[in-house]
Amino acid sequence: MALVSARWPTLILIGFLILNIQSVAAIKPLVPALLVFGDSTCDPGNNNYIQTALKSDFPPYGRDLADHQATGRFCNGRLGIDFIAEGLGLKKTIPPYLDPHLSPHDLVTGVSFASAGTGYDNMTASILNVIPLWKEIEYFKEYQFRLKQMFGEKIASIVINKALYLVSVGTNDFIENYLQFPNRRLRFSPSEYVDFIVGIAGNFFEELYRLGARRISVASLSPMGCLPMLRSMNLFEPGQCMEDYNDIGLQYNAKLQTTIENLRHKLPGLLILFSDSYQLTYEAIYNPSKYGFEEAERACCGSGTIELGYLCNELIPSCSDASTFVFWDSVHPTERFYEIVANNMLQSIRRLPL
């Protein structure tokens, strides 16, 4: 990839940015870039480029994208981050940082460092050999270096300081790690593990701040006990939500919100927002018709109980119209539900003094 020389005059660089942004967005962007950290809810394909069993770069994933190609998104179409990027006036899709074909425009308007299967807890990432959150930070440092090489210190500083940082992670720490393996359960009670994860989260936000982030939106946990996969694991009430896991999610959200409030007062100039979509998701699951859905217990791909990644493939029957389903596979929402959640988040994000 040819690099744009940092010796270009500043006015030429600014003109380059404006022309590239305006070619994608019809409205003036609210921020220069969207930079994303997290798990499969915001991984547009980074796992395609690492040695892991957790991938979705094959049909029927991506079947409802414009080109019907599986990109590595765990969805039938676009993710919430794509709708947020579009709503901010940046571009229709956020590319994965590890894509070797990233253009200068891709970099300067935003990328995702997220990796499906990861969590705040390093042990979570190790289960399926995905990118741990500390490595996402290392990629972000590398990103900053590349940005400075391409556009110079001044433009890079504007992008880094004015960008919106979106963080969506945490579910895997509970349903992939704490629920499935004894290591953490032997050491922590559910409440203690919540405190452990929230503590790591707070440190992560402070690290982003030290690296230049000033506008951060943090996604809440959803009612994870109502995921089709967890419904199928409910031995006491088969097919019903596991409310104890929903309670853990509520406890986590409350403590995370307190941590975010404390950081807002502690770190000068930090605009950090807790984007809570728990209630919206809960309503969509228990009253799907309110949002135009027909099915919220099963997923579109197969039965929705265990179909995830390689278990959701072209040999497994899937629904004809994913827009009538809340869930695409046993864990991940459909494109349509991602759009609803993204629009809800955008309402909160636009209240930030961007």
Residues marked active site are found at 40, 329, 332
Question: What is the identity of the amino acid at 206?
Answer: E
Q: What angle do CA 297, 303, 309 make, to 5 degrees?
A: 105
CA-based radius of gyration for the chain: 20
Q: Closest Cα partner for 43 from 89, 83, 75, 67?
A: 75
Asked if residues 231 and 305 have their Cβ atoms less than 8 Å apart, the reply is yes
Strands 34-38 and 295-299: unpaired
> Which strand (E) or helix (H) includes residue 126?
helix 122-127
Please report the beta strands in the chain, taking only residues with DSSP state E, as ranges in sequence order: 34-38, 164-168, 215-219, 271-275, 295-299, 325-327
User: Which residue matches tokens 């969207």?
Assistant: 34
Query: What does the H/E/C string look like for 180-247?
Result: CCHHHHHHCCHHHHHHHHHHHHHHHHHHHHHCCCCEEEEECCCCHHHCHHHHHCCCCCCCCCCHHHHH
- Give the pair of three-digit tokens for residue 72: 């590595």
What is the spatial distance between Cα 252 and Cα 258, in angstroms, rounded to a whole number? 10
